[in-house]
Amino acid sequence: MTARLEQLEPPDILSAEFARDPYAAYRLLRDEFPLVWHDAMQTYVISRYDDVQRAFKEPVFTSENYAWQLEPVHGRTILQMEGREHSMHRALVAPAFRGKALQEQFGPTIRRNSRELVDAFRADGQVDLVDAFATRFPINVIVDMLGLPRSDHARFHAWYTSIMGFLGNLAGDEAVAAEGLRTKDEFEQYMIPAIRERRANPGDDLLSTLCAAEIDGESMSDEEIKAFCSLLLTAGGETTDKAVTSLMANLVAHPAQLEAVRHDRSLIPAAFAETLRWSPPVHMIMRQPSEDVELSGGIVEAGRTVTCLMGAANRDDRRFDRPEVFDVLRADLDGSRAFSAAADHLAFCLGRHFCVGALLSLFEIEVGVNDLLDAMTDIRFADGAPPPEAGVFTRAPSSLHLQFTPAAEERP
């Protein structure tokens, strides 16, 4: 080891300094500490693109860590399943989230929710986009897709906030953990009767689709459907919530790219894909190898938890040209596969555990950003500068105060 490295310390991903600016820490980790043990979290931390890609794609890296990480608050979900069990459950839920079926069955629900939220502030000339739109849009959509009462939007938003607090509780705050477990009980008490009622009286909603799904005589139990709905609430809500916020903040911070997207809406998926690379909603996901594995920097022993820093890997200059630059026209990010298991970015994982709701998120982003750009012209930061990001496990601006000129309202 060189004298210079002997003087360096690996960044602590639980430190306040890291929370303020993880990107500087990511560079140091990638270059000098590609594999580091974090004692407080009892996990190895990896940060290079090739290593994180391997952790997502190679079968030796399992998701057994979710038994202690997710199961306490969600129940047992598809994320911690492997092999035939995982394939079967993915086949049961995936059809509802494919492009054509998604747009035809749930397109009107998604469009209605976006338009309602935008209409509430479009004449004001100013908005906190996080509070007024980003945190509410995906949760309202999920509630309506499930066919549950719209009067329960606020209740689901509170549950979503509590569960995300539990999942992001890397420091182990006991009050946050207890609140998450109370939410699990409340959610179960709400959902199990709703699932049983929908089995008896099916409709054309997502909950009915999940209840009726069957392959080779296998279907999901009430508990499994409840767990999937809990997972959908957070995984589907958090990614879209933070993606909308970050995408709009990124575009407003780059006016030429904002205007390019405004005038060519077919660029919205590219802007979304670049946002997923440059400022992903989820910055870290864990895996657990079933046998010893050699990665950059050393060996990870079987059964040890590995924290994969997607936020670092997505800015690895070993993989991307000018990785610190936000560019919706980036040549090394293939838009044709950006929302598939073969994506270049790592924000939705890769391989067998690629996010089943990626196309739902894309559709929501396309609808939402189109509506926002239709409603607002001359968009600028109210404080004159981009807001800081917040969060460690998931990350985006906690508020996004924008000023704008209301656009003339056009109804089809």
- Indicate the pLDDT class of residue 176, thresholds 50, 70 and 90: confident
Mean of pLDDT values over 60-77: 83
- What is the pTM (predicted TM-score) of this model? 0.91
CA angle 155, 161, 164 (to 5 degrees): 135
Residue in 179, 154, 195 with CA at minimum distance from that of residue 73: 179
Largest Cα span, the chain: 71
Residue in 2, 70, 17 with CA at minimum distance from that of residue 288: 70
The DSSP code sequence of 286-323 is EEEESS-EEETTEEEPTT-EEEEEHHHHTT-TTTSSST
Q: Read off the pLDDT of residues 1-10 as tens digits, 9 standing for 90 and up.
A: 444 545 688 9
Instruction: Please check whether residue 412 lies inside any domain of the structure.
Output: no
Q: Read off the pLDDT of residues 380-402 as tens digits, 9 standing for 90 and up.
A: 999 999 999 999 989 999 999 99
Which pLDDT value is given to residue 358?
A: 84
Give the other-Cβ count within 10 Å of 385's Cβ.
Answer: 8
CA angle 35, 38, 41 (to 5 degrees): 135
Mean of pLDDT values over 30-36: 97
H or E element in which residue 127 lies: strand 126-128
CA angle 89, 91, 94 (to 5 degrees): 105
Which pLDDT value is given to residue 2?
A: 47
Instruction: Please check whether residue 171 lies inside any domain of the structure.
Output: yes
Tell me the pLDDT of the chain averaged across its residues: 90
Contact in structure between 171 and 13 (CB atoms under 8 Å): no
Dihedral sign, CA of 235, 142, 162, 72? negative
Cα(133)–Cα(269) distance, integer angstroms: 19
Which pLDDT value is given to residue 3?
A: 45
Instruction: Please check whether residue 206 lies inside any domain of the structure.
Output: yes
CATH of the domain at 13: 1.10.630.10
Which pLDDT value is given to residue 7?
A: 65
Helical packing angle, 268-278 and 358-375, nearest 10°? 110
Parallel, antiparallel, or unpaired: how do β-strands 126-128 and 401-406 relate? antiparallel
Instruction: Please check whether residue 282 lies inside any domain of the structure.
Output: yes
Instruction: Please check whether residue 79 lies inside any domain of the structure.
Output: yes
Which pLDDT value is given to residue 280?
A: 95
Query: Residue 194 is part of which domain span?
Result: 3-406
Residue in 239, 240, 238, 206 with CA at minimum distance from that of residue 225: 206
Phi and psi, residue 285, nearest 5°: -140, 145
Q: What is the DSSP letter of 394?
A: B
For residue 126, pLDDT over 70 is answered with yes
3-state class (DSSP) for residue 215: strand
CA angle 32, 34, 39 (to 5 degrees): 105
- Within 8 A by CB and 6+ apart from 153, the residues are 136, 139, 140, 143
Which pLDDT value is given to residue 323?
A: 97
Domain count, the chain: 1
Query: Tokens 């057994």 label which residue?
Result: 64
Instruction: Please check whether residue 377 lies inside any domain of the structure.
Output: yes
Contact in structure between 368 and 244 (CB atoms under 8 Å): yes
In the chain, % of residues over pLDDT 90: 67
Helical packing angle, 153-167 and 174-200, nearest 10°? 130
Instruction: State the burial class of residue 123 (Cβ atoms within 10 Å of its Cβ: 0-12, 13-18, 19+).
Output: exposed
Cα(137)–Cα(5) distance, integer angstroms: 47
Of 30-44, 95-109, 364-378, the poorest mean pLDDT is in 95-109
Instruction: Please check whether residue 411 lies inside any domain of the structure.
Output: no
Cα(317)–Cα(27) distance, integer angstroms: 9
- Within 8 A by CB and 6+ apart from 114, the residues are 137, 364, 367, 368, 371
Query: Tokens 């989230």 label which residue?
Result: 97
